[in-house]
Structure 1
Amino acid sequence: MNYPSWKINLETSSLDSGQQEADKRPLVLAVDDNHDNLELLAQILDLFGCECMGAVDGYAAISAAVERPPDLIVLDICLPDIDGIEVVNRLQENPDLRHIPVVAVTALAKAEDRARILKAGCVEYISKPFNIKDLETIIRQHIHPQVLLVEF
């Protein structure tokens, strides 16, 4: 199956065609090597009133964050090049990016995995498959709640 190139940006989502409306929405970088998961995250984030850009690996995530710093990063931990922990470490090393909250969304579900991920610098942890309401609650905690429009 042929997937579009998502090296740095997933097609930017918007509530309407006006650029002004898109500019007011919080920007979230979604990172997942599974294209279906990435598309699902993009659709969910759009429903939450967020603009979404996507990346399918760790290096693309770092490049995207440098190029256009997001308000929040939703990060898979198991990535094909460098893992999510290394992505968080590199973000922490950059003074322009270290303030960005990172939410781990991962299939790693053991207690020791959770502890390691949070210790690395992620502000939250949610295991796959995730509940949309749980993800919404976490995102509301880290992005201005008044811009997130949908209740589940």
Structure 2
Amino acid sequence: MNYPNWIKDLESSSLNSGQRAVDKRPLVLAVDDNHDNLELMTQILDLFGCECVGAVDGYTALSSAVDRPPDLIVLDICLPDIDGIELVKRIKQNPELRQIPIVAITALAKTEDRDRILQAGCVDYLSKPFNIKDLETIIRHHLNSGRFLVEF
């Protein structure tokens, strides 16, 4: 896969408000209790040109989001302390965080699971194992709908 350099794209793109983009990669908070999955997600997001912060549980993810609000959150639903649904609810209750798009990436693949996850406040859903191209499309869509106007 050949992904153009985000910084170059950001420098040459303009924001919705007409301002010039700053020299900054989008920050993505990846949450997964499986260390191998988290490492894989971190590497994939890096390939996409994102800065990635990882968390292995819900409380750490919430603390990370409060300390440094990300541009996007990719979230496993099955976590050891609070589950992803509860984490989404807590994020959406925080006025500083509620606008952050959250994408669920989970092994829960039933239709009712998907519906429950989206109703909780996730903007998108991808079941594991996922196709990297599908992940790329989802990430690009949700970052481009915010302040980043970029293409991978």
TM-score, length of structure 1 as denominator length: 0.81
Task: Name the structure 1 match of 2:135.
Answer: 135
Could you list the runs of 4 or more consecutive aligned residues of structure 1 that deviate by over 2 angstroms after TM superposition?
144-149
Task: Name the structure 2 match of 1:41.
Answer: 41
Letter in 2 for 1:119: Q
| TM-fit CA distance, 1:147 | 3.7
Distance in 2 between the 1:120 and 1:55 partners?
A: 20
Letter in 2 for 1:41: M
CA RMSD of aligned residues (A): 1.8
| TM-fit CA distance, 1:121 | 0.2
Distance in 1 between the 2:93 and 2:61 partners?
A: 15
Q: Which runs of 5+ in 2 are unaligned?
A: 1-5, 8-22
1:97 paired to 2:109: no
Task: Name the structure 2 match of 1:26.
Answer: 26
| TM-fit CA distance, 1:64 | 0.3
Task: Name the structure 1 match of 2:64.
Answer: 64
Distance in 2 between the 1:113 and 1:81 partners?
A: 19
- State, as a whole percentage, how many aligned pairs show the same letter: 77
Letter in 1 for 2:115: A
Task: Name the structure 1 match of 2:16.
Answer: none
Q: Deviations over 1:44-97 (max 9, x none)?
A: 000101000000000000000000000000000000000000000000110000
Q: Which runs of 5+ in 1 are unaligned?
A: 1-14, 17-22
Task: Name the structure 2 match of 1:111.
Answer: 111
Distance in 2 between the 1:76 and 1:148 partners?
A: 25
| TM-fit CA distance, 1:148 | 4.6
Letter in 2 for 1:34: N
Letter in 1 for 2:137: T
Distance in 2 between the 1:148 and 1:46 partners?
A: 14
1:76 paired to 2:79: no
